[in-house]
């Protein structure tokens, strides 16, 4: 697998992780706007990297 292909796989995994977290957050907070959900997803991912 080339480095470019590996990068595409990594981006796909990140996209899937973000989508999965967004579904979970929407389930817990159905009244939240898309912006609030996306902010919460970004915060969770940022915390996971530290």
pLDDT tens for residues 17-39? Answer: 999 999 999 999 999 999 999 99
Distances, alpha carbon 3 to alpha carbons 9, 15, 40, in Å: 10, 18, 31
Query: Measured between alpha carbons, how far is 5 from 23 in angstroms, rounded to an integer?
Result: 27
- Whether this prediction's pTM lies above 0.95 is answered by no
* pLDDT number for residue 43: 95
Residue 6 DSSP code: H
Q: Are 35 and 41 in contact (CB under 8 A)?
A: no
Tokens representing 46?
Answer: 């940022």
48 has pLDDT over 90: no
Tokens representing 20?
Answer: 């999965």
Tokens representing 9?
Answer: 């796989």
């Amino acid at each position: 697998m080339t480095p470019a292909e590996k990068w595409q796989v990594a981006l796909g995994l990140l996209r899937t992780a973000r989508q999965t977290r967004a579904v979970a957050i929407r389930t817990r907070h159905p009244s939240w706007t898309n912006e609030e959900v996306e902010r919460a997803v970004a915060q969770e991912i940022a915390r996971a990297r530290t």
